[in-house]
Structure 1
Amino acid sequence: MHSEKASLGLKIAAWGGLVFLHFPIFIIFLYAFNTEDAAFSFPPQGFTLDWFSVAFAREDVLESIKLSLQIASIATLIAMVLGTLAAAALYRRDFFGKESISMLLILPIALPGIITGLALLAAFKRFGIEPGVMTIVIGHATFCVVIVYNNVIARFRRTSHSLIEASMDLGADGWQTFRYIILPNLSSALLAGGMLAFALSFDEIIVTTFTAGHERTLPLWLLNQLSRPRDVPVTNVVAMMVMLVTMVPILGAYYLTKSSESVAGSGGK
């Protein structure tokens, strides 16, 4: 009889992979609380929260945090609107060029970041647009749209069209159907896509490098700190904060989509 339990070797390999992936993150977390200000002196000399007060007292850190939050919020909002509209337009109807449009929508997330960054920079220069906050938002929105689009179109495909037809047959207009039928079915997928888009935008560095100009987001601040070994404890604190800010939306999106495997009216048996 075939056993559903994993073998010991498979368990060891799985745990080994998890340790390999998360050990660097653990090191950052560990040294964010180290009393020693030297760069990764082992073992840690003690436990302190002083570096947090030092980090959040620095104006450059606060400005970078504020800018990253602002950009991620705007890019996510744009992505949620455009991604939802694109999914609504493409999920059900067949027309000439549909596959090409779908591919173009997904392409920004598949391309290497350096290619996207160079292409955006060339386009901005071609139209005489100076790099700044607006160009960063546009750059981030290009790949954030993909995240929202993929989540929403998957939910559209699992939502029975008979619900929409029933709503219209009962006298509801387009807005009422959208408000009471479509939006409730899309809500968790839309929220999950928005959370993932926010996390992706908040810690994006490659595209930002080409589109930021003189602006400095939090990931760019961290990159600049690599040449300043005396600021390693503060850098560890900020890096830990970036990981937490991105980790929470990703976990939230995972649980949102996990808990909505069966959608009302999806027609699943």
Structure 2
Amino acid sequence: MQLSRGARIALRLAAAVGFAVIYVPLLLVLVNSLNPDRSASWPPPGLTGHWWAVAWHNSGARGALWTSVRAGLGATAIALVLGTLIAFAVARHRFFGRGTVSFVVVLPIALPGIVTGIALNSAFSTVLEPLGVGLGLFTVVVGHATFCIVVVFNNVVARLRRTSGSYEEAAMDLGAHTFRAFADVTFPLVRSALFAGGLLAFALSFDEIVVTTFTAGPGVETLPIWIFDNMTRPQQAPVVNVVAAVLVLLSVVPIYLAQRLSADTASGSRV
């Protein structure tokens, strides 16, 4: 489709405004983390790395970071197992209600986080507390896994739909049992999709705050919750800016890698 010169200029301006709205605030967070003043004065009188050193030695921030990493790894592990199994069931088998299963798996990512959080909090209080299991890191991991499964499922099922099952059938015809066929044939074909899905799942879990608020018990503080609790404390404002900048940078890495993997495998692994 050919666009007029005016239309192209308008689209570029609209794209520039959209990107500015998204990324300029993130850039300001990074600049404020280097601001020598405790207040977010603008323009900053200079640049300093002092607050980065202070944040590094802040035990609360480091503990929250480690909690977020553990929660992210746990949710990603669950999502990889369940998301992959569901993807294989949907993509490789025909059964009654297959479309319903796909819809139910994808639904949690579309639900408002506060609805998911309230539902999980109620379920944990009703089911787990009578068994002596209260809210804590375990419930946070389970809560995050409910929406992390979606990204793994979407990545793997998309790959399986582009990959013919005849390769697995040929391997079994040659004497390979089911697990050998999966290890030698299927897994190499879906490996990059699994990795991309795992990276996206970890990124989603790492910066989740709404569901975490409803599923974390006393003493369980992830990095986003630490930021939210400390952002209104004037003495902590510079450290919060540093931690927020780190959170942005840490979130960019897995998303970028997942995007590159998805793009490369989409263009180079059609069969």
TM-score (norm 2): 0.94
The aligned residue for residue 96 of structure 1 is 96
More helix by share: 2
Q: Distance in 2 between matches of 1:132 and 1:161?
A: 42
Partner residue of 2:237? 232
**2:29: which partner in 1?**
28
Separation in 2, partners of 1:22, 1:52: 21
Determine if contact 2:140/2:215 at 8 Å carries over to the other structure. Answer: yes
Which one of the candidate residues 212, 219, 222 is aligned to 2:224? 219
2:151 aligned with 1:147, yes or no? yes
Q: Which residue of structure 1 aligns with residue 210 of structure 2?
A: 206
- State the match for 1:256 in structure 2: 261
Letter in 1 for 2:17: G
**Shift, 1:165, TM fit:** 1.4
Query: Match of 2:175, SS?
Result: coil
Instruction: Give secondary structure in 2 for the equivalent of 1:33.
Output: coil
How far residue 170 of structure 1 moved from its aligned partner, in angstroms, is 1.7
Work out whether residues 185 and 263 of structure 1, in 8 Å CA contact, stay in contact via their aligned partners in 2: no
Q: Deviations over 1:152-202 (max 9, x none)?
A: 000010011111111112222212211111111101110000000000000
- The CA deviation string for residues 45-104 of structure 1, in whole angstroms up to 9 with x for no partner, is 111111111001111111101100011011101100110011011113221122222111
Contact 1:158 1:263 in 2 (8 A): no
- Do 2:135 and 2:216's aligned partners in 1 also have CA atoms closer than 8 Å? yes
Question: Distance between the aligned counterparts of 1:75 and 1:108, measured in 2?
Answer: 14
User: Pick from 107, 132, 138: which aligns with 1:134?
Assistant: 138
Q: Which residue of 1 aligns with 2:168?
A: 164
- How far off its partner does 1:20 sit? 1.2
Counterpart Cα distance in 1 of 2:159 and 2:4 = 31
- Aligned CA RMSD, in angstroms, stands at 1.5
1:126 to partner: Cα distance: 0.5
Cα shift at 1:4:
9.5
Report if aligned partners of 2:38, 2:234 keep a CA contact under 8 Å in 1. no
Gaps of 5+ in 1: none
Query: What's the CA shift for 1:227?
Result: 2.1
Question: Which amino acid in structure 1 is aligned with residue 212 of structure 2?
Answer: T
2:266 counterpart SS class: coil
* CA distance in 2: counterparts of 1:222 and 1:147, whole angstroms: 26
Which runs of no fewer than 5 residues in structure 2 stay unpaired? Answer: none
Deviations 1:20-44 (A, max 9, x none): 1111101001111111112x10110
**Structure 2: distance between partners of 1:253 and 1:169:** 34
Residue 150 of structure 1 aligns to a residue in which SS?
A: helix
Q: CA deviation at 1:130?
A: 1.0
With over 3 angstroms needed to count, the CA separation of the structure-2 counterparts of 1:250 and 1:67, relative to structure 1, is same
Paired letter, 1:138: V
| Aligned structure 1 segments of 4 or more residues deviating by more than 2 angstroms | 1-6
What pairs up with 1:64-83 in 2 under 5 angstroms? Answer: 64-83=64-83
Deviation at 1:205, TM superposition (A): 0.2
SS of residue matched to 2:152: helix
1:16 Cα shift?
A: 1.4
Using the TM superposition, give the Cα deviation of residue 263 of structure 1 relative to its aligned residue in structure 2, in angstroms. 4.9
Q: What residue is the counterpart of 1:196 in the other structure?
A: 200
Counterpart CA distance in 1 for 2:110 and 2:14 is 29
Alignment of 1:46-125 (within 5 A): 46-125=46-125
1:213-245 per-position Cα deviation (integer Å, ceiling 9, x unaligned): 111110000010122022111000000011111
1:19 and 2:20 equivalent?
yes
SS at match of 2:265: coil
List per-residue Cα deviations over 1:118-173 (Å, max 9, x = no partner).
00000011111411000000000110011100100000100111111111122222
Q: CA deviation at 1:10?
A: 1.3
Residue pair 2:92, 2:165 contacting (<8 A) in 1 also: no
**Which residue matches 2:185?**
181
**Are 1:159 and 1:263, in contact at CA under 8 Å, matched by a contact in 2?**
no
